[in-house]
Amino acid sequence: MDEQDWAILLKLYEEKSITKAAEVLFISQPALTARIKQIEDRFAAQIVIRGRKGVHFTPEGKYLVERAREMSQKMHIIEGAIWTMRNEVKGLLRIGASNYFTGHKLPELLRQFQARYPDVEFKVVTNDSRKIVDLIINHDIDVCFVHGKFEWSGMEDLLLEENMFLVSTNEIRVADLPKTTWINYTTSKPIWDMLDTWWKDNFSQPPHVGMEVNTVDSCIRMIMKGLGYGFLPEGVLDYTEKAYKIKMIDRQGEPLKRPTWMFYHEDSLKITLVKTFVDFVKGLDIRSISL
pLDDT digits (tens, 9 = 90+) for 160-202: 999 999 999 988 889 999 999 999 998 889 999 999 999 999 9
Strand partners, 109: none
Residue 236: per-residue pLDDT: 85
Residue 69: per-residue pLDDT: 85
Residue 141: per-residue pLDDT: 93
Residues forming CATH 3.40.190.290 domain(s) in the chain: 161-258
> What is the C-alpha separation between 219 and 186, in angstroms, rounded?
9
Residues forming CATH 1.10.10.10 domain(s) in the chain: 3-68
> What is the C-alpha separation between 204 and 191, in angstroms, rounded?
20
Average confidence (pLDDT) over 136-145: 93
Residue 203: per-residue pLDDT: 94
Under a CB-based contact definition with an 8 Å cutoff, are residues 95 and 207 in contact? no
Residue 241, class by beta-carbon neighbours within 10 Å (0-12 exposed, 13-18 middle, 19+ buried)? exposed
* Domain 161-258 CATH assignment equals 3.40.50.2300: no
- In terms of pTM, does the model score above 0.75? yes
Residue 6: per-residue pLDDT: 87
Residue 268, class by beta-carbon neighbours within 10 Å (0-12 exposed, 13-18 middle, 19+ buried)? buried
Predicted confidence band at 78 (pLDDT cuts at 50, 70, 90)? confident
**Which helix H or strand E contains 233, and what residues bound it?**
strand 230-233
CATH topology of domain 3-68: Arc Repressor Mutant, subunit A (1.10.10)
Does residue 240 register a pLDDT over 80? Answer: no
Please tell me the number of Cα atoms within 13 Å of 110 on its side-chain side.
22
Residue 125: per-residue pLDDT: 93
Task: Give the range among 56-60, 102-106, 236-240, 264-268 with minimum mean pLDDT.
Answer: 236-240
Task: Classify each residue of 54-82 as buried b or exposed e, where b means 16 or more C-beta atoms within 10 Å of its C-beta.
Answer: bbebeeebeebbeebbebbeeebbeebee
> What is the C-alpha separation between 216 and 231, in angstroms, rounded?
9
Residue 121: per-residue pLDDT: 93
Query: What is the rounded average pLDDT for all residues in the chain?
Result: 91
The SS3 call for residue 214 is coil
Residue 255: per-residue pLDDT: 95
Does residue 1 register a pLDDT over 80? Answer: no
* CA 110 and chain centroid, separation: 15
Does residue 83 register a pLDDT over 90? Answer: no
Residue 238: per-residue pLDDT: 78
Residues forming CATH 3.40.190.10 domain(s) in the chain: 73-160+259-288
Residue 172: per-residue pLDDT: 86
> What is the C-alpha separation between 232 and 56, in angstroms, rounded?
40
Residue 149: per-residue pLDDT: 87
* Domain 73-160+259-288 CATH assignment equals 3.20.19.10: no
| Interior angle at CA 228, CA 222 and CA 234, nearest 5 | 70
Strand partners, 167: 230, 245
Residue 228: per-residue pLDDT: 93
Query: Model confidence over 202-229: pLDDT tens digits?
Result: 999 999 988 999 888 899 999 999 999 9
- Supply φ then ψ for residue 16, to 5 degrees: 60, 25
Cβ atoms within 10 Å of 132's Cβ, excluding its own: 28
| Interior angle at CA 88, CA 84 and CA 91, nearest 5 | 80
**Percentage of residues in the chain with pLDDT exceeding 70?**
100
